[in-house]
Amino acid sequence: MKHVFVLSILVAMVMSIAMVPAMAQDDPGVVNVYSSRHYGDLEAPFIAFTEATGIEVRVSAGSPRDLLSRLRADIDRGDRSVADVFLAIDAGVLSLAASEGLLQAIDSDALNESVAEGFRDPDGYWYGLSIRTRTLVYNLENVTEEELAAVNTYADLADPMWEGRVCMRPASHIYTVSLFSSILQDLGEEDATAVAEGISNNTVRYINSDTSQIRAVAAGECDVTFVNHYYMGRLANGSEEDVAVFDSVGIKWMNQEENGVFFNVNGAGVVKNSANLDNAIAFIEYLAATENQCGELECFPGSNYEFPTNPAAEANETIADFGEFEYDLAYGLSQYGEFQEATVEMLESVGFGFAEN
C-alpha cells in the first residue's frame, strides 16, 4: 500500500507539472509599447484593446528621438528589447528605425487592407494609425482676405509682408523638422534655404506648444502660424475660454494648388526582437481595424481629433467640418527620415530659433 501511495503522489506531481504550460497558454500576456504620444500612458484605445483581448498594455513614454535612442541601445546590447511595439508620432523616426534594422517587417493581410498604401511603409516595417496635418492658422481680424489669398504654400510665409507677424514652433521640435524637410524635398537645397531664412526673419516668437501658438495668434501677438490641425479640434471642444480662442482664428489647408497639405502619422512597428510577437501584431491590427478607426474618443484617431488611415473609417465630426483637402502624397512617408539631418543643418544655417523666446 505504501508503494501505491508514493506512486500516486508521483503521478499527481507529474500531471501537475504537465499542466503548467497549458495554464500559461490561457494567460493572454502583455504587449510592451514604446510610445511618443503624450496623451496619457493608458489611452482609451489601449484600454479598449485590453478589454477586447485580455492582453495587458504596458507603455513607456518619451519623445520620438529619445525612444529611438533607447531602442538602439536595447538592440545593441544583444538582449531582447523592453519593447514589442515602437509607436512614434513621426514617420521620419519610424523610417530611421526600419532602416537601422530595429524593426521587423510583418506580413499582415489585415493591416494591408486596413491602412491605405500612402500611410504605411511599403515593405511592412510600420503602419500609420492616424494622420495629423500641419497647416495654417490665422487671426480672423488681423489677416485680410487679400493676404489670406496670397498664402497658398508653406513658402509664402517667407514673404516680407509677414515680417513680425509669424509665430513658429522651434526647430528643436520634430514637428518643425518634418515640415521643413518637406520644403527641402520639394524645392531643393538653395530655394528651401531661402524660404527657411525668410520665415525665420518674419518670426516674432518661437513657442514650443501648438496650443500656445494658436492662443498667441488669437491674442494678436502674431497673425499667422503653422500647427497640427488636431489642436484646433481640442480647442473647439474645450472650455469656454478654449472655444473663444477657436472662434477668433481660422484654419486654411496649405498647398492645395500644389502637391497637397503636409501630413505626418502616428505609426507603429514591431520591434526586431519582440518577446511578444503575436500580441504586438494583434495590437497594431486592432488599432487599424475599421471599427477602431472611428472619430469617437475611444478610437485611436478620434481620441486626438486626428484623421483615420483606414479609408473605410469616418473622421471625427469636428475636424470634418474644417473642410475637404488633399494630402501631399508626392513626398512619401518612408522618405521623411532621409531629410531630417539635412533639414536641421539648414535651419541652423539660417538662424532659425531652436528655443522659445
List the Cα angle 214/216/220 in 5-degree steps: 120
Backbone angles phi, psi at 21, to 5 degrees: -60, -40
Average pLDDT of the segment spanning 141-148: 98
Residues 154, 221 within the same domain: yes
Would the pLDDT of 24 be above 50? no
Residues 151, 236 within the same domain: yes
Residues 163, 118 within the same domain: no
Q: What was the pLDDT predicted at 40?
A: 59
Q: Is residue 127 assigned to a domain? A: yes
Q: What was the pLDDT predicted at 15?
A: 35
Greater pLDDT, 3 or 281? 281
Would the pLDDT of 272 be above 60? yes
Residues 165, 248 within the same domain: yes
Would the pLDDT of 20 be above 60? no
Q: Is residue 7 assigned to a domain? A: no
Residues 210, 345 within the same domain: yes
CATH number of the structural domain spanning residue 35: 3.40.190.10
Average pLDDT of the segment spanning 89-100: 96
Would the pLDDT of 144 be above 90? yes
pTM for the model stands at 0.90
Q: Is residue 17 assigned to a domain? A: no
Residue span of the structural domain in which 250 resides: 132-261+337-349
Distance CA 328, CA 137 (A): 18
Residues 141, 127 within the same domain: no
Residues 122, 267 within the same domain: yes
Q: What was the pLDDT predicted at 13?
A: 35
Would the pLDDT of 181 be above 80? yes
Residues 203, 225 within the same domain: yes
Q: Is residue 54 assigned to a domain? A: yes
Residues 111, 194 within the same domain: no
Residues 156, 69 within the same domain: no
Residues 158, 278 within the same domain: no
Distance CA 95, CA 335 (A): 7
Q: Is residue 149 assigned to a domain? A: yes
Structure-block grid coordinates of residue 334: 518612408
Q: What was the pLDDT predicted at 81?
A: 86
Greater pLDDT, 19 or 34? 34
Q: Is residue 287 assigned to a domain? A: yes
Return the closest-CA partner of residue 90 out of 355, 344, 333. 333
Name the one residue in this structure whose C-alpha cell is 511595439: 85
